[in-house]
Amino acid sequence: MARMYPLFSSSSGNCTYIGDEKSGILVDAGVSCKKICTALENAGIGTSAVKAVLVTHTHTDHISGLKVLTKKLKVPVYSVSGNLELLAEKDKVCEGCVLEELGEGTEDIGGFGVTAFMTPHDTPVSCGFRITVPGGADCAVCTDLGIVTDDIHEQLIKCRLVLLESNYDPRMLKYGPYPEELKSRIASDHGHLSNGDCGRELVRLVKAGVYSFVLGHISQHNNTPQLAEGAAVKALCEYTRGDDYLLTAAKPEGTGRAVVF
């Protein structure tokens, strides 16, 4: 049975495990290696199950634990070419770490089919991933994007489960402590998705037949899981939760529970 474990999901650090106790893939390593290994252990997953790490982009909250993690686990890192170049230039992986480029097609990584798709974010290169698990079910990790492009939408509608960004509540961002320049960046087309942006895409995805969702990358300063979840349910008011769709909000540090899809 396919499972997604949102181990860490917030503006402070992100890491998601997709797989089971025997084999799986990590998406990002934005907290310490120790925290990631402990979170896996709490979920009943040994570190030997991790076959690779996928990197969405090189912001600290997605790669801060990557160098130590690659040294400990000795696993390859996969991403699109620009990210791999930045990781090597900035010394963000251990010496000898194998860096594997993802092209436009689907790459087989330990029995998992991985497709990268580009996301609009304020970094030189940013991407999300659609992952086909052994058995054929698809899921996606899609955070750090200012808008949902047509190409992104086309990848997401192929999935049974989507982890989608619901980063900020516009009112909290407007009246919050961030400087105006940062507020503008977050709300831009190369920033993050608001709760409303996320809700509008959820409606499109449910209409297309996607059934299960995790709200992710919820800001700890400009949002709350309750606000994000409430906005999503409101957007999906024409549908019945539990019958037409399943929804959960990821916590900054996960509980070790899996989302089955």
* 3-255 placed in CATH 3.60.15.10: yes
Whole-prediction pTM: 0.96
Q: What is the pLDDT of residues 36-72, one digit of tens each?
A: 999 999 999 999 999 999 999 999 999 999 999 999 9
DSSP 47: G
Token look-up 């800001």 returns 219
Q: In whole angstroms, what is the distance from residue 226 CA to residue 77 CA?
A: 34
Q: In whole angstroms, what is the distance from residue 198 CA to residue 235 CA?
A: 9
For residue 77, give Cα distances in angstroms to 84, 102, 253: 8, 10, 23
Q: What is the pLDDT of residues 171-201, one digit of tens each?
A: 999 999 999 999 999 999 999 999 999 999 9
Exposure string of 66-94, with b = 16+ CB inside 10 Å and e = fewer, is bbbbbebbebbbbbbebbbbbbeeeebbb
User: Across the strands, what pairs with 168?
Assistant: 194
